[in-house]
Structure 1
Amino acid sequence: MLLKEGKIGNIKLKNRIIMLPTVTNLSNEGFVSEREMEYYKRRSKGVSLVIVGASYVNKLGKFFINQIGIDDDDKIQGLRRLSEVIHQNGAQAAIQLAMHNPKYKPSDFTKQQIQGFVQDFVSGAIRAKKAGFDAVELHFAHGWFVNQFLSPDTNKRTDEYGGNFEGRTKFALDILREVKKTIPEMTVICRINGSDFTDRGFTIEESVRFAKLLEYHGADALDISGGVSSTSEYHISPMGIEDKPLIGIVKRIKENVTIPVIAVDKLGSVYDWEKVLEDGIADFIGIARGFIGDPDLAEKLIKGHEEDIRYCIHCNQACIAYIQKGLSVSCMINPEVGREKEFEVKTDKPLNIAVIGGGPAGMSAAKYLAKKGHNVTLFEKENKLGGQLNVAKVPPHKQEIGKVIEYLENDLKKYNVKVHLNKKISLQEIKEMPYDKIVIATGSKPAKINLDADINPYMAIEVLEGNIPKGRDIAIIGGGLTGLETAEYLAEKGKKVTVLEMKEEVGEGIYPMVKKLILNRLKELKVDIITNALIKEISGGKLMYTSKDTYKVVKVEDVVLAVGNLPDTEFEELKNENRYYFIGDCKTVASAVEAIRDGAELSLII
């Protein structure tokens, strides 16, 4: 079914795989950049339809710093080049038309202004047509501007653009009707929420009614998503959400319309996609983050190499999190995103290079240096590769991290990197190595703190490696990601866990969606979280601490330290010598995203 031809409106599609719209922040003040061209050029091979990510139809509706625009005629030329690149690769080209500005709510605008916004969408569709796009997608989902009118939670208007269902849907239907009236030959897809997943938002019942109206007024297909800003885990589902979270609402809508329906969000593997189609739940499979991580996904499937597909691990650390920070899109498993041309360069002077350390930074460096044409040997002191990724995959809902190790190991084999396990390299051995360049990627070590304690604390990394505390009452000192994940890990094993954090709140630096989900799970597991906690003493089965000048006591049998990591300094004295390069945590402690990118970027300078 996946490779069966299909049709949306008047455009024929060579298979059932659609690349969904994603903001990239690769544009240049709204204009298509060369980086954006390369991004779509790489990903449009094999796929049937590419929907270019949210293009703002007016300046008011521009939300992301380097979002693509379709608000002026002077952008048509760049957009035409983009549609041509997509067409050259055999895919049909669509572009999503959108407005998003959370500073405003529906009641802030006059009827005349709303009618003006309708015309902005129509003008955007006209420009899309002039730029050679085969279809437009109208963004009516995710708590964005039009979705705010649909929701009774956010639309408090009392005129014809608010109130009852008919009033709340009028703005969206006006946009659709006017686009179809103005450009009747243009294929129009509508992205809608099957549900807002909020207490007073748009529900599946209203969504079914809305879907029928969209079909009646000319929509050629429906792209079914879900969730708004506060419930975004339903349209960019992370590891903590089970696969296919929207499939039930997709099925409901599909049963009530005759136009094609696109299923989206964390849809599992290629075999799951096939079953969704075979069961008639949807007509097309929509993939967004999957194409960020593996731009060759569709081609691999077509060539019968589905075992080589690199599935998204749904960490959201470098795609969604980066975009929301105003950075250009990236990916933990694919640091080449938006920089495709940079990583195509091959060396004309192959060097013999040693990499010391087989964690994420070391594996990445070895892969990319070998891919560039160097002869690379990797040394790892443990009996397996992966470094701290082996620990990161242990907590509940983190198993997908294990795929990162698997992908990097496959790459090391693909590019003929020589790997030596159980090989601890000393400082003297490094100095005597006969390599042209030596990369130090020895990672970091858990930080320690001085405790007035009559028991020896466990380190969080030890616990996640399987050294489980014997006692039932466990205190975890440190409320960062590692501390919270260790708390969940132990609580699921029946331990009574208390997390103590010296700062105002736990989870500093954790992506908000992930933080919300893990805190909800910890609450269900009855994990106690104490902030503003200064540890005073641990003795006689009691942990004494102060919080806001109040002296308190917690019963403890064992203590776990999760207070961060420090760079491994074993080879510090080599830092100023030209032959050596330090990457990853032994240079600066950061996340796996930064470690893998650091390793990859080393290949750009050697």
Structure 2
Amino acid sequence: MIPTLLLRPGRIGSLALDHRMLMGAMHLGIEGDRSQLGQLAAFYEERVRGGAALIVTGHAAVLPEGGGHGMYDLTAADHREQLRELAGRIRAAGGKLALQLTHTGRYARGEETGLAPRAPSAIASRLTRETPEALTLADIARVQEAFAEGAAFARDAGFHAIEIMGSEGYLLNEFMSPLTNARDDGYGGTLEGRIRMSAEVVARIRERVGREFPVIFRMSGDDCMDGSTTPAETLALARALERSGADALNVGIGWHESRLPTVGATVPAGAFAHIVGAVRGAVGIPVIGANRLHTPEAAEQALARGDMDFVAPARPWLADPEFARKILQADRDGLNVCLACNQACLDRAFARKTVGCLVNPRAGREAEPFVRAAAPLTVAVVGGGVAGLQAAKTAAERGHAVTLFEARERLGGQFLLASRIPGKAVFRETLRYYTVALQRLGVDVRTNVSPSADELRAFDRVVVATGVQPHVPETLAGADLPLVCTYAELLAGGRPLGRRIVIVGGGGIGSDVAHYIAETAALRPDVHAFFAERGYAAAPAQAAPVRITLVSRSEKVAKGVGVTTRWVLLEELKRRGVDVLKGYRCRAVVPGGVWVENDVEERFLEADQVVLCTGQRSRTEWMGLLGEGDRRPDVVGGASDAAELNAARAIRQAYEIAMTL
């Protein structure tokens, strides 16, 4: 598919844009730290070179109590000076930068700001477990003035536009929602009262900055919270914002505390585009969409249906800083697609850590020079999982002559197995990206080959990336019985599914395997739709009943899975009827089932299939092949550390090793 609508120029107020692909706001966790200003600027500059028509910064708090970790504070003189320098650098690079003005409301954390959080009403936040103080009328006037002052600063500091944050459950969104606004004055009660705060903020900004400075309002298209703003009320808000002077509306989806996934890989591409489309149908100004528009196909379809005028994905720009440039040049094969895994971005942001990207180890370190090797070497990489692929790619980019050996027929290793898990089929995009990159770099890729020691000694350097293999506990009686298999054998398609399945191991792998089995055993959604659309009520729930029991030694199932995705996975297991047994050890497998026990009792679980998800161990057969000293190979990824699979760590480590060759 060759995008056409994405390539058309457009306008937001007075701002002319070369095409329809913006970069949405996101945080790197370094904002406000002067020592990291160079890195932040380098991050944005690389996206300018990558073709972003307009870049929106992460939150800049208009008042201290509405800020927090990794945010600029517009009341701090040094933060203002940093932002001036940032805007100047992006202008010098030929880019356009919009400053996002924010007050986090009841989502602010007192431990970070040193101040009590403020909100429309004193209603506790489930996210922070703090109860905010209700804003007085004088406070409301102060907040409005702070937004207007922030907009004037942005204009004078050299930003091309502002975006007002009124989505995702932050302060202005809180005024709109009856869940967080229990006021009985002119800023609550009626729909008009709940709209008033956002409309007045826009009007006050417009009065302060004039008609020519572009003002974008990020509004909530759907809070995904029971009892919150209705669709009709949302459209009324959109029309009010247009009347107040907004030049464009950027439509966000969901609150941080909502129980509907909005950004994870389980969400279909473009799933919320129709919500953005409803807003676009209610106003005459441009409308922007963001959620799950991570590929050119999804973005182009959203524009073609008339759901939006611009797209503003965020994390896809982490995965590939040339997101727009590659689409403009019709280089879909070269695009490094965001996996929506959240592991190195959102999970780290919520943990107050510096943000990176699983599939792009340079994300967050753009200020570090990428130096070509002074003396090109011959480099052998043993193992074609993601660690080996990244090592080969980086080494070749630095000018080395690289040969990649993979013992199996296909590249990908554990990552390829994981691509069979529901919501992780997109992992194949990463493998496609690496395969194309290695071809273009001239890497000699040899599959179905295990090199000999003599072959490897002919290379200047060797990188071992042989990964892991499933660990089968030696103490587990019956592990060799025919009904037993490992997760790798099952995911590779080497074993048909049973009907009474016990999964031993409740970590991330075991939980993923339970999800895979439950989804595989059920009828596909398109089959259900086929029967339902034709009024056939007798469509079965699944082809044949399958009972799945997940046995976890820990009381915490899916331990180690990131905070932003673990709850989604657990909800999926519950929805699919997976039985979860917590705090039990597997004592023995016998014909017909499994004996499990804890400190109180033992139980027998009937089974015709037992899947072992009991950890991994490094594949060490290459470790000592070349001897010690200067000939000792570099070891990366699972081959060096077989802890719970961590592709982000493996890819990052492979990149770092290859940068030293």
TM-score (norm. length: structure 1): 0.94
Q: For residue 547 of structure 2, what is the amino acid of its counterpart?
A: K
The Cα shift of 1:572 comes to 4.1
Paired residue for 1:588? 641
Query: What does the per-residue CA deviation read over 1:472-515, in whole Å, with 9 as the maximum and x for residues that have no partner?
Result: 11100011221122112222343321000011121111123322
Describe the shift of the 1:276–1:540 C-alpha distance in structure 2 as closer, same or farther (beyond 3 A). closer
Paired residue for 1:168? 194
Partner Cα separation in structure 1 for residue 38 and residue 183 of structure 2: 43
The Cα shift of 1:411 comes to 1.5
The Cα shift of 1:469 comes to 4.5
User: Cα RMSD (Å) of the superposition?
Assistant: 2.2
Q: For residue 584 of structure 1, what is the amino acid of its counterpart?
A: G
**Residue 51 of structure 1 pairs with residue 56 of structure 2:** yes
The Cα shift of 1:557 comes to 1.4
**Residue 577 of structure 1 pairs with residue 618 of structure 2:** no
Partner of 2:413, secondary structure, is coil
Of 416, 438, 442 in structure 1, the residue corresponding to residue 462 of structure 2 is: 438
1:513-552 residue pairs with structure 2 within 5 A?
513-547=564-598, 549-552=600-603
**Residue 77 of structure 1 pairs with residue 130 of structure 2:** no
Query: What does the per-residue CA deviation read over 1:11-36, in whole Å, with 9 as the maximum and x for residues that have no partner?
Result: 22222111111111233437861111
Describe the shift of the 1:526–1:234 C-alpha distance in structure 2 as closer, same or farther (beyond 3 A). closer
Partner Cα separation in structure 1 for residue 187 and residue 630 of structure 2: 67
Paired residue for 1:603? 658
Partner Cα separation in structure 1 for residue 302 and residue 315 of structure 2: 19
**Contact 2:32–2:73 (Cα < 8 Å) also in 1:** no
1:305-316 residue pairs with structure 2 within 5 A?
305-316=331-342
**Contact 1:30–1:69 (Cα < 8 Å) also in 2:** no
Partner of 2:324, secondary structure, is helix
Paired residue for 2:33? 29
Partner Cα separation in structure 2 for residue 442 and residue 274 of structure 1: 39
Q: For residue 57 of structure 1, what is the amino acid of its counterpart?
A: V
Partner Cα separation in structure 1 for residue 593 and residue 9 of structure 2: 68
Partner of 1:593, secondary structure, is helix
Of 435, 442, 452 in structure 1, the residue corresponding to residue 477 of structure 2 is: 452
1:229-244 residue pairs with structure 2 within 5 A?
229-231=256-258, 235=262, 237-244=263-270
**Which range moves more in the overlay, 455-464 or 273-282?**
273-282
Partner Cα separation in structure 1 for residue 429 and residue 402 of structure 2: 23
**Contact 2:72–2:79 (Cα < 8 Å) also in 1:** no
Partner of 1:492, secondary structure, is helix
Q: For residue 225 of structure 2, what is the amino acid of its counterpart?
A: T
The Cα shift of 1:89 comes to 4.2
The Cα shift of 1:405 comes to 0.9
**Contact 1:369–1:376 (Cα < 8 Å) also in 2:** yes
1:222-301 residue pairs with structure 2 within 5 A?
222-231=249-258, 235=262, 237-267=263-293, 269-301=295-327
Of 449, 459, 484 in structure 1, the residue corresponding to residue 511 of structure 2 is: 484
Of 371, 380, 396 in structure 2, the residue corresponding to residue 345 of structure 1 is: 371
Paired residue for 1:467? 494
Describe the shift of the 1:491–1:338 C-alpha distance in structure 2 as closer, same or farther (beyond 3 A). closer
Partner Cα separation in structure 2 for residue 118 and residue 542 of structure 1: 66
The Cα shift of 1:584 comes to 0.7
**Residue 202 of structure 1 pairs with residue 255 of structure 2:** no
Describe the shift of the 1:19–1:552 C-alpha distance in structure 2 as closer, same or farther (beyond 3 A). same
Unaligned stretches of 5+ residues in structure 2 = 110-116, 123-132, 522-545
Paired residue for 2:604? 553
Partner Cα separation in structure 1 for residue 259 and residue 370 of structure 2: 35
**Residue 334 of structure 1 pairs with residue 360 of structure 2:** yes
**Contact 1:8–1:220 (Cα < 8 Å) also in 2:** yes
**Which range moves more in the overlay, 138-147 or 500-509?**
138-147
Partner Cα separation in structure 1 for residue 332 and residue 497 of structure 2: 44
Q: For residue 4 of structure 1, what is the amino acid of its counterpart?
A: R
Partner Cα separation in structure 1 for residue 32 and residue 376 of structure 2: 36
Partner Cα separation in structure 2 for residue 244 and residue 136 of structure 1: 25
**Contact 2:346–2:564 (Cα < 8 Å) also in 1:** no
**Contact 1:491–1:497 (Cα < 8 Å) also in 2:** yes
Partner Cα separation in structure 2 for residue 184 and residue 277 of structure 1: 30
**Contact 1:378–1:417 (Cα < 8 Å) also in 2:** yes
Of 367, 392, 395 in structure 2, the residue corresponding to residue 369 of structure 1 is: 395
Paired residue for 2:127? none
Query: What does the per-residue CA deviation read over 1:36-79, in whole Å, with 9 as the maximum and x for residues that have no partner?
Result: 11111011232221111222223222233x33443334333332
Partner Cα separation in structure 2 for residue 421 and residue 433 of structure 1: 19
Query: What does the per-residue CA deviation read over 1:545-593, in whole Å, with 9 as the maximum and x for residues that have no partner?
Result: 2356143332111211102212223244468634321111111234111
Displaced runs of 4+ in structure 1, greater than 6 A? Answer: none
**Residue 60 of structure 1 pairs with residue 60 of structure 2:** no
Partner Cα separation in structure 2 for residue 429 and residue 68 of structure 1: 57
Partner Cα separation in structure 2 for residue 415 and residue 567 of structure 1: 29
**Contact 1:83–1:93 (Cα < 8 Å) also in 2:** yes
**Contact 1:336–1:343 (Cα < 8 Å) also in 2:** no
Partner of 1:44, secondary structure, is helix
Query: What does the per-residue CA deviation read over 1:346-379, in whole Å, with 9 as the maximum and x for residues that have no partner?
Result: 1111122211111111111111011111222211
**Contact 1:342–1:604 (Cα < 8 Å) also in 2:** no
Describe the shift of the 1:425–1:343 C-alpha distance in structure 2 as closer, same or farther (beyond 3 A). farther
Query: What does the per-residue CA deviation read over 1:99-152, in whole Å, with 9 as the maximum and x for residues that have no partner?
Result: 223444432133123332222222221221121012110001111232222222
Partner Cα separation in structure 2 for residue 497 and residue 310 of structure 1: 36
Paired residue for 2:530? none
Paired residue for 1:421? 447
The Cα shift of 1:343 comes to 5.0
**Contact 1:30–1:68 (Cα < 8 Å) also in 2:** no
Partner Cα separation in structure 1 for residue 416 and residue 293 of structure 2: 25
**Contact 2:505–2:613 (Cα < 8 Å) also in 1:** yes
Report the count of equivalent residues: 602
Q: For residue 56 of structure 2, what is the amino acid of its counterpart?
A: I
**Contact 1:93–1:135 (Cα < 8 Å) also in 2:** yes
**Contact 2:23–2:52 (Cα < 8 Å) also in 1:** yes
Describe the shift of the 1:121–1:209 C-alpha distance in structure 2 as closer, same or farther (beyond 3 A). same
Unaligned stretches of 5+ residues in structure 1 = none
Partner Cα separation in structure 1 for residue 607 and residue 342 of structure 2: 35
**Contact 1:122–1:182 (Cα < 8 Å) also in 2:** yes
Q: For residue 425 of structure 2, what is the amino acid of its counterpart?
A: Q
Paired residue for 2:561? 510
Of 401, 418, 424 in structure 2, the residue corresponding to residue 392 of structure 1 is: 418
Query: What does the per-residue CA deviation read over 1:165-210, in whole Å, with 9 as the maximum and x for residues that have no partner?
Result: 2333333223222211211242111101111111122232221111
Q: For residue 453 of structure 1, what is the amino acid of its counterpart?
A: G
Q: For residue 651 of structure 2, what is the amino acid of its counterpart?
A: I
Query: What does the per-residue CA deviation read over 1:308-340, in whole Å, with 9 as the maximum and x for residues that have no partner?
Result: 333222212112122222222211221111222
Partner Cα separation in structure 1 for residue 468 and residue 159 of structure 2: 49
